[in-house]
Structure 1
Amino acid sequence: MPWLRISLLWLCFITTVAQAGTQLATDLKVLTSPEHAGRGSGDVEKNASARYIHARFTEAGLETYYQSFRFRQGLGKLGYGHNVVATLPCNAHVCDKSLVISAHYDHLGSRGSRYYPGANDNASGVVVMLDIAQRLAAQQRHREIVFVATDAEEKGLYGAHFFAATLNPERVALNINLDMLAVSGKNRLYVLASKQASDLTQAIAPAFDNQIRAFIYTSPASMARRLDTPRVDWLRASDHYAFHKVGIPFAYFGIGIDPNHHTHKDQFEQVDLPKLAQVSGHINAFISALSVAAAP
Structure 2
Amino acid sequence: MLTSPEHAGRGSGDSEVNASARYIYTRFAEAGLETYYQSFRFRQGLGKLGYGHNVVATLPCNVQVCEKSLVISAHYDHLGSRGSRYYPGANDNASGVVVMLDIAKRLVSHQRHRKIIFVATDAEEKGLYGAHFFAATLNPQQVALNINLDMLAVNRKNRLYVLASKQASTFTQAIEPAFDNQIRALVYTSAAHMARRLDTPRIDWLRASDHYAFHKVGIPFAYFGIGTDPYHHTHKDQFDKVDLPKLAQVSEHINAFISALSVSAAP
Question: What's the TM-score bracket when you normalise by the shorter of the two chains?
Answer: over 0.9
Question: Are residues 1:289 and 2:253 paired?
Answer: no
How many residues matched? 267
Question: Are residues 1:34 and 2:12 paired?
Answer: no
Pairing 1:75-154 to 2, within 5 Å after superposition: 75-154=46-125
Instruction: Give the equivalent residue in structure 2 for 1:194.
Output: 165
Whichever residue aligns with residue 62 of structure 2, its letter is N
The RMSD of aligned alpha carbons is 0.3
Whichever residue aligns with residue 198 of structure 1, its letter is S
Query: 1:280 offset after TM fit, Å?
Result: 0.2
Query: 1:197 offset after TM fit, Å?
Result: 1.1
Structure 1: distance between partners of 2:155 and 2:168 = 28
Select 1:252's aligned residue among 202, 223, 244. Answer: 223
Whichever residue aligns with residue 82 of structure 1, its letter is H
Cα deviation digits, residues 60-85 of structure 1 (max 9, x gap) = 00000000000000001000000000
Query: 1:295 offset after TM fit, Å?
Result: 1.8
- Specify the SS of the correspondent of 1:93: coil
Structure 2: distance between partners of 1:295 and 1:136 = 13
Structure 2: distance between partners of 1:92 and 1:228 = 45
Question: Are residues 1:73 and 2:25 paired?
Answer: no
Select 2:176's aligned residue among 205, 208, 212. Answer: 205
Whichever residue aligns with residue 94 of structure 2, its letter is A
Specify every segment of 5 or more residues in structure 1 that has no aligned partner in the other structure, as ranges: 1-29
Query: 1:57 offset after TM fit, Å?
Result: 0.1
Whichever residue aligns with residue 99 of structure 1, its letter is L
Structure 1: distance between partners of 2:49 and 2:169 = 40
- Specify the SS of the correspondent of 2:229: coil
- TM-score, normalised relative to structure 2: 1.00
Cα deviation digits, residues 196-224 of structure 1 (max 9, x gap) = 11111100000000000000000000000
Query: 1:189 offset after TM fit, Å?
Result: 0.2
Structure 2: distance between partners of 1:61 and 1:265 = 35
Question: Are residues 1:53 and 2:53 paired?
Answer: no
Q: Percent identity?
A: 88
Instruction: Give the equivalent residue in structure 2 for 1:162.
Output: 133
Structure 2: distance between partners of 1:81 and 1:295 = 40
Whichever residue aligns with residue 213 of structure 1, its letter is R
- Specify the SS of the correspondent of 1:84: strand
Question: Are residues 1:176 and 2:150 paired?
Answer: no
Q: Which has the higher helix share?
A: 1
- TM-score, normalised relative to structure 1: 0.90
Cα deviation digits, residues 174-196 of structure 1 (max 9, x gap) = 00000000000000000000111
Pairing 1:221-232 to 2, within 5 Å after superposition: 221-232=192-203
Instruction: Give the equivalent residue in structure 2 for 1:264.
Output: 235
Structure 2: distance between partners of 1:234 and 1:199 = 21
Whichever residue aligns with residue 251 of structure 1, its letter is A
Specify every segment of 5 or more residues in structure 2 that has no aligned partner in the other structure, as ranges: none
- Specify the SS of the correspondent of 2:119: strand
